[in-house]
Structure 1
Amino acid sequence: MSENPSRARWLALAVVCAGMLMVILDGSITTVALPAIQDDLHIGRAGLAWVVDAYVIAFGGLLLLAGRLGDLLGRRRIYLAGIAAFTAASVLCGLAATPAMLIGARFVQGIGGAMASAVGLGMVVGLFPEPADRAKAFGAVGFTGSAGASLGQVLGGVLTEGLGWHWIFFINLPIGAAALLAGLRLLPRDRAVAAKGGVDVPGAGLVTGGLMLGVYAIVEGGPHGWTSAGTLGPAAAALVLLAAFVLRQARAATPLLPLRILARRTTAVANLTQILLVGAMFGFQVLLALYLQNVQHYGALGTGLAMLPAALTIGVVSLLLAARAIGRFGERRTLLLGLALLTVGLGLLVRLPAGGFDYAADLLPTLLLGGGFGFAATALTALGMADARPADAGLLSGVLNTTQQVGAALGVAVLTALAGGSGDAVGGFRLAFGVGATLLLAAFLLATALPARTAPAPADAGPPVLVAN
């Protein structure tokens, strides 16, 4: 590469963020377009749920394996393969003329999304070994997430109403092609530093099967009941497979997930905190959208615009303030500040009215949520990757993404079930927001167990080396 090393790192980060943007954008766009897809393809409610669930199951089930494969085969290789698969599957989704074709393509999308997302944070760790630059890079990643979510909510309504639902998938083609071409040119080649022992194939099968069944049980628990055979059976099977995976990792010569990683306090607490944080926040996003549409009768585009200020606040805080706060106060205090703002903001939403809705007054707490999430998510990402060494950065990235998906699936399933389980629609929403605030309070208390400042893990094999393409 002709660029100087510093500029090359930031250009490589831009490529990583572009891929993440495409994956995040797809999720929020698809949600907005579901009614149009149902009408056009004549899909029943159960089939429509699988348009979302097929993606979520593949994505959540393969994150851990994809992250480890990044360490074994090279994170650049896995990332680019994931972007290529996601882009090709997006085109197939747009061309789908039957429900089966769309659901199958969504499953492949989930595979590609897992490959690209699982190694993304590991690539950031390799590119930015210095804590100050790494915090700025994680802030950029947080900004990308909020930008994708907010843009998707608005763009989904515009594309669906203006061009048709097919274009919510076709929009991924130019983004994916640009990310792939730029990645081939700008992403540094990384050494497969953990490739000596090969892949733990039995462990990979156990954890992938266990996670897929676990995510399936979560997403099916809401509509079919948490005590139904269709939920309890897969949940029990998932627990058996994951327990067998843990036993396998304790005895395998080259484990897929060395248990020493989960024994680190910072890693363990950060991932548990993330499950609570993401569960509350993803549930909040779905609940607020349902409240605006079902209670206040907003349209899809109006709902996206109403939620835009909070998303923009997340972006501003992530990009401009979070790294400075981490540099001055440390990761733990920045995380606690974010969680405090989130708890207060979500708690205030229990006041949402059935009538007499005033946008400025009633949705003002979402700005607290936006600011809090900007601080908390950036700090939590830094903490979750703080113990990353070159040999396992992809794995830690996969673990952090996996707990994010588990938290999101649980939060949406549980909080939406609470919101819909009350005869009083507004009362159900208030209850769900109150439970979400309780989850955030629990996350705050858990986060107090984190160290005040986190030093980078020792680089026993050295960071990935920039190699000219």
Structure 2
Amino acid sequence: MVDAFGWQAVFFINVPVAGIVIILGPRWVPESVSDSIPDKVDLISVPLASLGVGIAILAITQGDKWGWSSLNLILSFAIALLLVTAFVIRSNRHKAPLFDLDLFKLKTFSVGMIGTVFFMVAFFSWLISLPTFIQSVWGWSVLKTGFAIAPAPLLTAFVSPPAGRLAERIGNGPILTIGGLLGATGLSLHLIFTNSEPDYVMGIFIPGILIGFAAGFGFAQLIGAAMRDVPRDQFGMAGAGRTTIFQLALALGVALAFTIIGRPSSPQAALDGLQTTWILGIGCYLAQTLLFAFFGGSDKTLKT
């Protein structure tokens, strides 16, 4: 599809998936009702939150194109900041806020959100930058590049279920600590073995296997870590907040990767940019490791 219609075609997969969810969701997913939440939800916060987050993501993703010191970017961030600030103030004052900021008083929720940012920036900066490098420097086709990096996401799908079962026994914190170490190791191997001369086994495959394990230990476990102590009647609200942070961190990882790599004038310049991206990713994975090693326990509330 990408070869035939361009990279935008990858988003077409969302159409049938969304259709299935719309049709089957109401039949299979039970409705949840809470007597503790008032009927009148803060509707004014809906545009404040959606526009604030949307404009922030737009600014992050367009920063390289507009220029990081451009007026468009500065105005976009300023507007996003004003909207989000208004949303926070209103959420603190409303009886039925769109998002209850007291959720951040839950240690597990706050740690899960911070860990999500570290993980998403590390993983998606890698996922975006590596295929670009393989195609532009190694000269591989889109199809060949896709097959080259496929083992990592495929491994993620196989690793996630047993990682979840293991987390039920030992907790999310140790799994995410190990995942961070695996991710940092994988990117370190990239730094050592990936260069302008193609070397699939040591330059792509083995580092990708470690990063695939890191992702398998990351995606689902970050959800579990963040949602573990959330009250049942706030699951929907907390899940929406987690998804928002997820999307912001994803956009940030992509934007940082493209900004660092830029438009290289030579293969060596492309490699230099890619290595800088990997160093950033290593830092994020290590931050994830330390975060869950020291703060991934079961205490429910933050001390105030």
Same fold (TM over 0.5): yes
2: distance between equivalents of 1:214 and 1:207? 11
- State the match for 2:175 in structure 1: 334
- State the match for 1:260 in structure 2: 102
2: distance between equivalents of 1:263 and 1:179? 33
Q: Which amino acid letter does the alignment assign opposite residue 185 of structure 1?
A: R
Out of 77, 81, 86, the residue aligned to residue 239 of structure 1 is 81
* 1:412 to 2:254 alignment: yes
Kindly report which structure 2 residues correspond to 1:181-200, keeping only aligned pairs within 5 A, or say none.
181-191=23-33, 193=35, 195-200=37-42
2: distance between equivalents of 1:276 and 1:289? 21
* 1:325 to 2:166 alignment: yes
- State the match for 1:452 in structure 2: 297
Out of 194, 198, 203, the residue aligned to residue 362 of structure 1 is 203
Conservation of the 8 A alpha-carbon contact between 1:284 and 1:436: yes
1: distance between equivalents of 2:176 and 2:207? 19
- State the match for 1:427 in structure 2: 272
User: Shift of residue 391 of structure 1?
Assistant: 2.0
2: distance between equivalents of 1:349 and 1:245? 42
Q: 1:181 to 1:253 in 2, by over 3 A?
A: closer
1: distance between equivalents of 2:20 and 2:94? 41
Q: 1:275 to 1:235 in 2, by over 3 A?
A: same
Q: 1:177 to 1:296 in 2, by over 3 A?
A: same
Conservation of the 8 A alpha-carbon contact between 1:419 and 1:430: no
User: Shift of residue 408 of structure 1?
Assistant: 0.7
Conservation of the 8 A alpha-carbon contact between 1:386 and 1:454: no
Conservation of the 8 A alpha-carbon contact between 1:335 and 1:377: no
Q: Which amino acid letter does the alignment assign opposite residue 447 of structure 1?
A: F
Out of 199, 207, 219, the residue aligned to residue 61 of structure 2 is 219
Q: 1:449 to 1:245 in 2, by over 3 A?
A: farther
User: Shift of residue 343 of structure 1?
Assistant: 1.0
* 1:437 to 2:282 alignment: yes
2: distance between equivalents of 1:197 and 1:176? 28
Kindly report which structure 2 residues correspond to 1:55-94, keeping only aligned pairs within 5 A, or say none.
none
- State the match for 1:126 in structure 2: none
- State the match for 1:248 in structure 2: 90
1: distance between equivalents of 2:16 and 2:92? 45
User: Shift of residue 192 of structure 1?
Assistant: 5.3
| CA-to-aligned-CA distance 1:235-273 (integer Å, 9 cap, x gap) | 011111111211112222222222211222211111011
- State the match for 2:241 in structure 1: 399
2: distance between equivalents of 1:451 and 1:439? 16
User: Shift of residue 194 of structure 1?
Assistant: 5.7
Structure 2 residues not aligned, in runs of 5+: none
| CA-to-aligned-CA distance 1:32-60 (integer Å, 9 cap, x gap) | 36x8359xxxxxxxxxxxx7xxxxxxxxx
* 1:228 to 2:66 alignment: no
2: distance between equivalents of 1:322 and 1:246? 35
Task: State the aligned residue count.
Answer: 295
Q: Which amino acid letter does the alignment assign opposite residue 360 of structure 1?
A: V
User: Shift of residue 347 of structure 1?
Assistant: 2.1
* 1:36 to 2:13 alignment: no
Q: Which has the higher contact order (CA 8 A, sep 6+)?
A: 2
Q: Which amino acid letter does the alignment assign opposite residue 299 of structure 1?
A: S
Secondary structure at 1:311 match in 2 = helix
Q: 1:246 to 1:432 in 2, by over 3 A?
A: same
Conservation of the 8 A alpha-carbon contact between 2:190 and 2:207: yes
Secondary structure at 1:213 match in 2 = helix
User: Shift of residue 281 of structure 1?
Assistant: 0.6
Q: Which amino acid letter does the alignment assign opposite residue 189 of structure 1?
A: E
Conservation of the 8 A alpha-carbon contact between 2:99 and 2:241: no
Conservation of the 8 A alpha-carbon contact between 1:337 and 1:376: no
Structure 1 residues not aligned, in runs of 5+: 1-28, 39-50, 52-93, 95-155, 157-167, 456-469
Secondary structure at 2:32 match in 1 = coil
User: Shift of residue 389 of structure 1?
Assistant: 2.1
Conservation of the 8 A alpha-carbon contact between 2:112 and 2:225: yes
User: Shift of residue 401 of structure 1?
Assistant: 0.8
Q: 1:324 to 1:214 in 2, by over 3 A?
A: same
Out of 121, 133, 136, the residue aligned to residue 294 of structure 1 is 136
- State the match for 1:161 in structure 2: none
| CA-to-aligned-CA distance 1:384-428 (integer Å, 9 cap, x gap) | 111222321111111111111111101110122112265511111
User: Shift of residue 372 of structure 1?
Assistant: 1.2
RMSD of the TM alignment (CA)? 2.3
Secondary structure at 1:290 match in 2 = helix
Q: 1:203 to 1:178 in 2, by over 3 A?
A: closer
Secondary structure at 2:33 match in 1 = coil
- State the match for 1:344 in structure 2: 185
2: distance between equivalents of 1:37 and 1:310? 23
Conservation of the 8 A alpha-carbon contact between 1:336 and 1:444: yes
- State the match for 1:380 in structure 2: 222
Conservation of the 8 A alpha-carbon contact between 1:331 and 1:453: no
Secondary structure at 1:227 match in 2 = coil
- State the match for 1:148 in structure 2: none
Q: What is the TM-score with the length of structure 2 in the denominator?
A: 0.89
